[in-house]
């Protein structure tokens, strides 16, 4: 099996296609409403990864004709400060979608994110994290589904990878990715298993998957022994590696990625070890895989929320 390379799934290209599909809807909404769809993004503190994600969300939204209103709060803000911003966006006429970037500063407390998601108007909840939207997703009648897992479904569909009747294994049980990913795959008639850090015989379970989704947040965790030859492997991980030995073990001593590390002092790695490329039938790269899809789906959800608020569907 070594030496043969699985197909690389181009998240960048699929994201561009989704954005192109959204564009006419944005134009139609804008001429009908006399204003563009509006998206409020709230960023608390200065988490470096969140800074980059939010910058990309602002840029991509703006380029697609969405009005993006970035609200920043200092890392010292209280949960009440944050809830006040959310409540203001909830009642605003111009904001159709609201997104509060996670994670929140630890000082806000362990349940801060859930309190925030509980407060966002479900009709403006473009992340799909409000319990009403989670419930609708579980019942198979979501209006707004979480962006990363719905982006993965779009990627599979647009890459002609069948879902129905396939066995899907998800590693990771987060509310943001793992759990909603399971629901979306289930709705498409996959047979689904959710694994996590305490799953027994994890490689054995994973290696039965036709579709393997890695969303655990540990660089290179998914090695060859987790993967059935020919499986579609979706790497949701975006991990910053700043230890050189780890970078060498992931990318080898003479790779361009290691040269990146030596230039910058760190490198981004997925949850899937690069050696899996030799065994997977299809694989998403990191970066350039799932990341761009999340943002494209955010724009799609923003347009859907805006249209629904104007009395559309």
57 is catalytic: yes
Distances (CA, A) of 275 to 18, 55, 75, 287, 296: 30, 31, 39, 16, 29
From the list 57, 179, 228, 300, the catalytic residue is 57
- Cβ distance to ligand GUN smaller for residue 104 or 272: 104
Q: Is 278:2 a contact under the CB 8 Å cutoff?
A: yes
Touching ligand GUN, residues 110-149 (CB under 6 A): 127, 147-148
Q: Among candidates 127, 131, 132, which has minimal Cα distance to 150?
A: 127
Q: Shortest gap between Cβ of 102 and ligand GUN (angstroms)?
A: 4
Rounded to 5 degrees, φ, ψ at 45 are: 80, -160
Whether residue 102 contacts residue 149, with contact meaning beta carbons closer than 8 Å, is answered with no
- The nearer residue to ligand GUN, 99 or 280, going by C-beta atoms, is 99
228 part of the active site: no
What is the three-class DSSP state of 250?
Answer: helix
* CB of 129 vs ligand GUN, minimal distance in Å: 7
- Show contacts with ligand GUN in window 70-109 (CB under 6 A): 99-102
- Secondary-structure percent of the chain, ordered helix, strand, coil, rounded to 5: 45, 15, 40
Report, in Å, the least distance between residue 276 CB and ligand GUN: 23
- Name the catalytic one among 121, 123, 127, 235: 127
- Min separation Cβ 99 and ligand GUN, Å: 5
Q: Which residue has the tokens 């099996």?
A: 1
Nearer of residues 39 and 283 to ligand GUN, judged by Cβ: 39
Q: Are 170 and 195 in contact (CB under 8 A)?
A: yes
Question: Which candidate in 10, 101, 123, 179 is catalytic?
Answer: 101
Q: How far is the CB of 178 from ligand GUN (least distance, A)?
A: 12
- Identify which of residues 60 and 148 has a Cβ nearer to ligand GUN in the complex: 148
Rank residues 25 and 291 by Cβ distance to ligand GUN and give the closer one.
291
Per DSSP, 102 falls in state: S
Task: Assess 176 for contact with ligand GUN (CB under 6 A).
Answer: yes
The whole-angstrom separation of Cα 56 and Cα 58 is 5
Is 146 or 285 the residue whose CB approaches ligand GUN more closely? Answer: 146
Q: Quote the least distance from Cβ 286 to ligand GUN, whole Å.
A: 14
**CB count in 10 Å sphere of residue 310:** 12
Distance CA 178, CA 184 (A): 10
271 is an active site residue: no
How big is the site for ligand GUN, counted in residues (CB under 6 A)?
9
**What positions carry a catalytic annotation?**
57, 101, 127
Q: Which spans of this chain sit near ligand GUN (rule: CB under 6 A)?
A: 99-102, 127, 147-148, 176, 294
């Amino acid at each position: 099996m070594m030496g043969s390379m699985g197909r690389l799934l181009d998240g960048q290209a699929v994201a561009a296609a989704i954005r192109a599909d959204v564009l006419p809807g944005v134009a139609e909404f804008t001429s009908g409403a006399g204003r563009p769809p509006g998206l409020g993004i709230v960023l608390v503190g200065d988490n470096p990864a969140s800074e980059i994600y939010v910058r990309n969300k602002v840029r991509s939204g703006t380029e697609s004709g969405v009005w993006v209103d970035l609200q920043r709060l200092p890392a010292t803000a209280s949960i009440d400060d944050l809830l006040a911003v959310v409540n203001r966006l909830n009642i605003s006429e111009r904001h159709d979608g609201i997104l509060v970037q996670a994670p929140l500063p630890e000082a806000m407390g362990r349940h801060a994110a859930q309190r925030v998601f509980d407060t966002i108007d479900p009709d403006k909840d473009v992340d799909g994290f409000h319990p009403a939207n989670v419930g609708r997703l579980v019942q198979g009648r979501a209006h707004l589904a979480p962006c990363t897992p719905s982006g993965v479904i779009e990627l599979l569909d647009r890459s002609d990878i069948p879902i129905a009747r396939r066995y899907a294994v998800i590693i990771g049980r987060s509310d943001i990715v793992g759990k909603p990913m399971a629901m979306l795959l289930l709705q498409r008639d996959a047979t689904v298993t959710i694994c996590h850090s305490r799953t027994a015989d994890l490689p054995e379970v994973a290696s039965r998957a036709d579709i393997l989704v890695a969303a655990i947040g540990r660089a290179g965790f998914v090695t060859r022994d987790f993967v059935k030859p020919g499986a579609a492997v979706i790497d949701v991980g975006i991990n910053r590696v700043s230890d050189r030995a780890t970078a060498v073990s992931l990318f080898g001593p003479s790779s361009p990625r290691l040269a990146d590390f030596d230039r910058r002092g760190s490198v981004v790695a997925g949850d899937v070890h690069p050696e899996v490329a030799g065994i997977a039938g299809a694989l998403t790269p990191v970066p350039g895989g799932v990341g761009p899809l999340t943002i494209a789906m955010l724009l799609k959800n923003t347009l859907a929320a805006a249209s629904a608020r104007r009395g559309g569907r």
